[in-house]
Amino acid sequence: MVTRSDATPLSIQDRYYLVESAVNMVEEGIDLLYEEAVEDGVDPDDFNFIDSLESLRSVSYADILQRMISNNEDAKALITLMKQNTLLTDE
């Protein structure tokens, strides 16, 4: 995470909300790419097409997480919050 010397770091909870918003934006973007590609004639079941979208999703998620953490403890705390929220929304 890039920080300026005069900046106050965001709390892990605030960073979680930013990650959540960014993940939603990634999902919306991938859905849009999928829909546009299918409209342009790409086979929606094409393995290479689906694999490319999944790769884009993985790289995007990794980039988001990397930008929101400053150390291993941040990473663990952020992932724990994400897991907890996933469990709450699945119920």
Residue 3 within any structural domain of the chain: no
Name the domain count of the chain.
1
Residue 32 within any structural domain of the chain: yes
Q: What is the pLDDT of residues 36-74, one digit of tens each?
A: 999 999 999 999 999 999 999 999 999 998 888 888 888
Residue 77: which of 29, 33, 11, 23 has the closest Cα? 11
10-38: average pLDDT: 93
Q: What is the pLDDT of residues 5-14, one digit of tens each?
A: 787 878 888 9
Res 88 pLDDT > 80:
no
Residue 82 within any structural domain of the chain: yes
Per the structure, the complete domain to which residue 80 belongs is given by 12-86
Residue 64: which of 17, 14, 19, 12 has the closest Cα? 19
Residue 1 within any structural domain of the chain: no
